[in-house]
Structure 1
């Protein structure tokens, strides 16, 4: 072998192998620092083996597809150079921190942040708007507390905000109405109080405010602009007064849950929304008769008005005159309804084979024996019905 060839081979043999990070983009150093600070803020004892955060090890690049990788889950990165962290979605491992991890505010490209189903606590910082690219924020099922920062309204790209199952208190900030891109707002299972704000984000598809202490009447000025609203989950609050006929006529509304409130009346107009599928107004204080107009909603298949203060008979239209889809779920138990159940509800083969689930029990109905499943539980005692109607008759 010539000395020249030997020299070439020697030179090649001492050239170090090309590092993977030099052949493709690596993570921005500032993002790496933010991730490292975030990991340091988590109580070590709350990071179980085999969880996402237990795999994080900064001896490898978070965004580089190296082997072995020390960032097996919870992160997504951009394809830019350098790569930026675009999403953090933690697994529900019980990670714990006594405050919101402020280091995450240093990730300018973050579009999705989910800390859901862990044990984070403390108030939210007013500086959340620094995450200007954020589209989805899910902090549900934690122990965050304090007021909801009005500054969240500056997150103009936000399409989904889920703060449910925490300990937030105070009122819903009126400033949230400026979130024109927001399609889902879930503030359920907190300690929020007071009336609803004068306006809500205009393009909502889903509004969930269940299990708070919200009060006052449901105002048309708040809801009429929500022309895209499909789901309204407002149960287990302290809403009062009448539910106006306009509410069930919201053009895109499909599901309504206003159970466990203090509503006193239900208004139904001659018009009927084409999309409404399910309405739950159970466990309120609604008086008056069953609105015949509910039978005119063509898609309405599930109706619950159980445990209110309704009187009078069950409209014949609920069975033979129901427009469109017949009732498949009909719960009217726990009222003061009287008279006879419309022919067909208790007969075999009712609704030409349609199966009805529900209850007409605990009323003042005649010829509705508890032996029939739909009439269970038993009707109210005659003495209670006499007090309600001023006679001993339950109706003819």
Structure 2
């Protein structure tokens, strides 16, 4: 076509579900041309043509294009914004799959749908790459070309078996990784990408020490529970970490100093082999929940240790070897709601000030032999809570549930 009209049309690629038919009416001006978008069966994209209204630089000529064409122009430009996956990200995804036992990738699973003959990010959530990854970031290379970047890997729990490929950490835009409830084995690679905010490797068969994960300023949630991780736990440096789950591993030694984790709210180190005194000097004051159930803690539970955790709501130290008194601070704490100390060797219960009337505790789990303790009876009777108690007579535990 010639350029005599302010509204010319140039060929573009259009999505497979649409084509444009043009009807020229008697009036040949740009304002009176009618264009219709019609549905048609899917057709290979290279066989389709799209047209974009080429506007002149003046506002006067811009207004000469019909509103329908302007809307269509924006639609076509938005499809142009789609970009291919960065080649390095594709190579990393291929390595993740190649490290797994092919027999552990069942039909219908996320990884079974990954066909690298197609572009991963452009194909995500379609017939191929139906699940398992998201691409919510873009980057440009030196030539100005835009590429989609992998930001999220979340695989289904179908029993994928094999080592966790080191290449997974070569995805620099990765923000979330979840491969929980599978059969991954071997060590956890160190040096994850700096943008990573969530790692969930729960309930696999990973072994070896927990890496220190240097240069992880964005990491907020780390779930390593239900593996075979062993050795001493080296103090991590995660300034943004809020949740740390180490339950059910083979970790040993004393709990390291975690006070640098100034944003940590949740810590579960239950069902390991940590030993030594209660690590009161190693815990951040930001904790809401702390569980070290079923370890080998010994010595007293200092009242000052509880006072140094002013926001603590849940404390589970059951099934250790703690001894001495149950501190009065447990019944004077103004935020503690649930306390479990059963399965230890405590010898008596300290009298809380004013009978613990300032407590908001709703669940108390102690040895049954403290059932007749005057201190406990006083605490229950004089508490701001009622004395609606739930007793477990089938066990050697006293479980008191105090209902406001």
Which of 310, 315, 320 aligns to 1:256? It is 315
Query: How big is the alpha-carbon RMSD for the aligned residues of Structure 1 and Structure 2?
Result: 2.9
Which of 264, 273, 287 aligns to 1:213? It is 273
Q: Which runs of 5+ in 2 are unaligned?
A: 1-20, 22-44, 51-75, 139-145
Asked if the contact 1:287–1:311 (Cα under 8 Å) also holds between the matched residues in 2, the reply is no
Residues 1-396 of structure 1 aligned to structure 2 (within 5 Å): 16-17=47-48, 24-64=82-122, 68-80=126-138, 81-97=146-162, 99-125=163-189, 128-150=190-212, 152-174=213-235, 176=236, 178-200=237-259, 201-223=261-283, 226-249=284-307, 250-265=309-324, 266-269=326-329, 272-289=332-349, 291-292=351-352, 295-306=356-367, 312-313=373-374, 315-323=376-384, 325-326=385-386, 351=387, 355-359=388-392
Change in CA separation of 1:212 and 1:316 when aligned onto 2, cut-off 3 Å: closer
Change in CA separation of 1:100 and 1:297 when aligned onto 2, cut-off 3 Å: farther
For residues 46 and 94 of structure 2, what CA distance do their matches in structure 1 show? 32
For residues 125 and 298 of structure 2, what CA distance do their matches in structure 1 show? 61
Q: Offset of 1:124 from its aligned partner?
A: 1.8
- Secondary structure (helix, strand or coil) at the match of 1:207 reads strand
Change in CA separation of 1:271 and 1:298 when aligned onto 2, cut-off 3 Å: closer
Asked if the contact 2:278–2:301 (Cα under 8 Å) also holds between the matched residues in 1, the reply is yes
Asked if the contact 2:84–2:119 (Cα under 8 Å) also holds between the matched residues in 1, the reply is yes
For residues 67 and 135 of structure 1, what CA distance do their matches in structure 2 show? 23
Change in CA separation of 1:296 and 1:29 when aligned onto 2, cut-off 3 Å: same
For residues 185 and 124 of structure 2, what CA distance do their matches in structure 1 show? 34
Asked if the contact 2:265–2:286 (Cα under 8 Å) also holds between the matched residues in 1, the reply is yes
For residues 267 and 198 of structure 2, what CA distance do their matches in structure 1 show? 15
The structure with the largest alpha-carbon Rg is 2
For residues 308 and 102 of structure 1, what CA distance do their matches in structure 2 show? 53
For residues 41 and 113 of structure 1, what CA distance do their matches in structure 2 show? 16
For residues 167 and 200 of structure 2, what CA distance do their matches in structure 1 show? 17
Greater strand share, 1 or 2? 2
Q: Which runs of 5+ in 1 are unaligned?
A: 1-11, 327-350, 364-372, 375-396
For residues 203 and 299 of structure 1, what CA distance do their matches in structure 2 show? 24
Q: Offset of 1:305 from its aligned partner?
A: 0.8
Asked if the contact 1:283–1:307 (Cα under 8 Å) also holds between the matched residues in 2, the reply is no
For residues 197 and 153 of structure 2, what CA distance do their matches in structure 1 show? 12
For residues 119 and 359 of structure 1, what CA distance do their matches in structure 2 show? 37
Change in CA separation of 1:41 and 1:18 when aligned onto 2, cut-off 3 Å: farther
Asked if the contact 2:160–2:183 (Cα under 8 Å) also holds between the matched residues in 1, the reply is yes
- Secondary structure (helix, strand or coil) at the match of 2:219 reads coil
For residues 271 and 310 of structure 1, what CA distance do their matches in structure 2 show? 16
For residues 78 and 356 of structure 1, what CA distance do their matches in structure 2 show? 51
